[in-house]
Amino acid sequence: MKGRLQGKSAIVFGAGSSGPGWGNGKAAAVAFAREGARVACVDLVAEAAEETAAIIRDEGFEAIAIAADVTDLASIEAAATKTAEAFGGIGILHNNVGVTHMGGPVELDEKKFQAALDLNIGPVYRTAKAVLPHMLKAGGGAIVNISSLAAIRYVGYPYFAYYATKAAVNQATVALAMQYARQGIRANCIMPGLIDTPLIYKQISGQYGSVDEMVAARNAMVPLGKMGTAWDVAAAAVFLASDDARFITGVCLPVDGGQSCAVAEFA
């Protein structure tokens, strides 16, 4: 089915990729465009945002690139204003920015803990603050936040701040869904499980003896036998942003190959 987002406009925060290949935000931005949405590709790195926007335009769809810092409210507000001016409003807000810092509270220094707050839960607040007025003016919209399976499960990695902040993303999404339901605004989040994206090679691979060991171990943890891809997350995002999900709000959806249903050996 194509055209599920025809006539809609989307702003995707974290639309660039942290390395070669397809990250969740990059795939979501392209998937939105392929379903008919006009897409504002927002990233801290201007070149990364432009790369994604160029892919969309090369496929014959409409996109703009915007550089913005999700830790800075004024920067986010400027991105939202530019998007609304370019597309005549904002119908979809997609939040994909996040960071993983290893360590429990003893090992993790306070600066990195604060960074996790600023980059994992902070953008949900700041983007909502900037984009909700545009949705309220238009009489509705859809918010899709990217959380993590780590919000509800211990997944084997020692990242205290990540668990805590992703759990906050889940409940913040529920709060948005309930507060704005009568205004026609839906809010849902996706909890990716083990996904093979460029980010894991930067933030996770150090927990293993080699990259090959990491990939094999992560594949083995998934009941379906293999990590997911950014396109699996993007497909869920398209659904939740579309009118096919018009009666779905406040949901935290696992996209995890069944991992949230499994009982694994504690390592």
Cα separation, 4 vs 96, in Å, equals: 21
Cα separation, 132 vs 60, in Å, equals: 29
DSSP state of 159: B
Q: Give the rounded distance of the alpha carbon of 179 from its chain centre.
A: 21
Buried b (16+ CB within 10 A) or exposed e, 57-89: beeebbbbbbbbbbbeeebbbebbebbbebbeb
What separation in angstroms does the CA of 107 have from each of 14, 116, 180, 208? 28, 14, 39, 18
Enumerate the active-site residues.
Answer: 162
